[in-house]
Amino acid sequence: MSEVVAHQLLDGRRCSEALRARIAEEASAVKARRGRPPHLAAVLVGQDGASRTYVESKVKACEEVGFRSTLITLPETITEDDLLHRVKQLNKDKELDGFIVQLPLPAHIDADKVTLAIDPDKDVDGFHPENLGRMVLSQPGFLPATPSGIVELLRHYHIETAGRHCVVIGRSHIVGTPMSILMSRNAYPGNCTVTLAHSRTKDLAAITRQADILIVAIGRPEFVTADMVKEGAIVVDVGIHRIPDATRKSGFRLVGDVDFEAVAPRCSWIAPVPGGVGPMTITSLLLNTLKAC
Ligand code: GUN
């Protein structure tokens, strides 16, 4: 019979509260020094409901720590040239420390072109190739918010990472790929032996069962099941999905990429959804904005 390990939560809300209290102090110091607080702008193109919700929570988080924030809403029909023009204006705006362009963008706009147009010194999302290159070389720069939030969460809970096998599922440019690089860096948290698994990986469960640290960013609801996880593993769930639930007043509930109920009893630590990685992503964006000024 397998041993049951009592799991502990990697609580992104509590960790964020602690970090945001420090960010708020820094923000008032910046304001005293420069006469204005840190200022973040977010560009939202179109009417996608999920993107709007994310952007609004970023703006709200800014206000809560005493930052200034500006939400720029642009129509779905905006041309690529007009959007690039707006980005150039924001690059030049001296009242602005950093900005983000929420993804995904409408299909007629080349997101890579837009990302490339952002001044790397204002790229608080850390998506510009220059910032990604700096990350690879362990040079100072902006780290992408979600991977950086996960790193902060592991640090907050003093999770030992050196020498451990970290399996990352999902190779997106904004989560899986940078995460695999950060976990293999010669730093803390880091120094892991990393496996980056993706849609073409064969016998995924055999690989995930070897993971001491399993980071799941595959974008499929409750994809990771108990049989895929080793006893005592540390599991970080990056996914967030609304699934219909008639027992809820809202008619839906939020789940991650991990079947939490089944997997949690096997873990030493697990980041829940909601309340794990999500709040940390926003906290990292605030940290990057502070760094930008
Ligand atoms: N879409 C999903 N996550 C993100 C993010 O962190 N930043 C931006 N700009 N768009 C996103």
pLDDT in tens, 176-197: 999 999 999 999 999 999 999 9
Q: How far is the centre of ligand 1, averaged over its atoms, from the C-alpha of 103 (Å)?
A: 5
Task: Return the bridge partners of 249, or none.
Answer: none
Q: Ligand 1: residues within 6 Å at CB?
A: 100-103, 125, 145-146, 174
Do 99 and 62 touch, CB atoms closer than 8 A? no
Give the position, in ligand 1's atom list, of the atom nearest the Cα of 281.
Answer: 6
Nearest partner of 277 among 167, 186, 179, 136, judged by Cα: 179
DSSP structure class, residue 7? P
Give CA–CA dist 274/84, Å, rounded. Answer: 34
Nearest partner of 207 among 190, 234, 227, 236, judged by Cα: 227
Q: Whose CA is nearest to atom 2 of ligand 1?
A: 103
Can you say how many angstroms the Cα of residue 249 is from the centroid of all Cα atoms in its chain? Answer: 28
Give me the pLDDT at residue 50, please: 87
Alpha-helix runs per DSSP H in 189-276: 204-208, 260-263
- Residue among 43, 45, 102 whose CB has most ligand 1 atoms within 8 A, to mutate: 102
Give yes or no on whether 35-119 and 144-277 have one common fold. yes
Q: How many CB atoms lie within 10 A of CB 49?
A: 8
Q: Is 40 exposed, middle or buried (0-12, 13-18, 19+ CB in 10 A)?
A: buried
Give the tens place of pLDDT for each residue, 114-168: 999 999 999 999 999 999 999 999 999 999 999 999 999 999 999 999 999 999 9
Nearest partner of 281 among 112, 159, 100, 133, judged by Cα: 100
Please determine, looking at this structure, whether the domain spanning 35-119 carries the CATH number 3.40.50.10860.
Answer: yes
Give me the pLDDT at residue 49, please: 87
The pTM assigned to this predicted structure is 0.94
Q: How far is the centre of ligand 1, averaged over its atoms, from the C-alpha of 224 (Å)?
A: 23
Q: Whose CA is nearest to atom 7 of ligand 1?
A: 102
Can you say how many angstroms the Cα of residue 89 is from the centroid of all Cα atoms in its chain? Answer: 26
Do 91 and 84 touch, CB atoms closer than 8 A? no
Catalytic residue from among 123, 125, 237, 257: 125
Give the position, in ligand 1's atom list, of the atom nearest the Cα of 144.
Answer: 6
Give the tens place of pLDDT for each residue, 216-273: 999 999 999 999 999 999 999 999 999 999 999 999 999 999 999 999 999 999 999 9
Q: How far is the centre of ligand 1, averaged over its atoms, from the C-alpha of 25 (Å)?
A: 26
145-174: b or e for each residue (b if 16 or more CB lie within 10 Å)? bbbbbbbbbbebbebebeebbbbbbbbbeb
Q: How far is the centre of ligand 1, averaged over its atoms, from the C-alpha of 146 (Å)?
A: 9
Give me the pLDDT at residue 7, please: 87
Domains of the chain: which residue ranges? Answer: 35-119, 144-277
Structure tokens at 270: 């697990």
pLDDT at 27 > cutoff 60? yes
- Residue among 44, 54, 58 whose CB has most ligand 1 atoms within 8 A, to mutate: 54
Average per-residue pLDDT in the chain? Answer: 96
Active site residue 60: no
Q: Which residues contact 196 (CB under 8 A, 6 or more apart)?
A: 168, 171, 176, 177, 180
Give CA–CA dist 156/142, Å, rounded. Answer: 20
Active site residue 47: no
Give me the pLDDT at residue 4, please: 53
Please determine, looking at this structure, whether the domain spanning 144-277 carries the CATH number 3.30.230.10.
Answer: no
Strand order in the sheet with 8-9: 8-9, 267-271, 233-237, 213-216, 165-169, 193-197
- Give the residue-averaged pLDDT of 29-53: 95
Active site residue 102: yes
pLDDT at 2 > cutoff 60? no
- Give the residue-averaged pLDDT of 3-7: 65
Q: Whose CA is nearest to atom 1 of ligand 1?
A: 103
Using pLDDT thresholds of 50, 70 and 90, give the confidence band for residue 3.
Answer: low
pLDDT at 1 > cutoff 90? no
Q: How far is the centre of ligand 1, averaged over its atoms, from the C-alpha of 266 (Å)?
A: 31
Single-letter amino acid code for the residue at 135: M
Give the tens place of pLDDT for each residue, 60-94: 999 999 999 999 999 999 999 999 999 999 999 99
Q: Helix, strand, coil proportions of the chain in percent (round to 5)?
A: 40, 20, 40
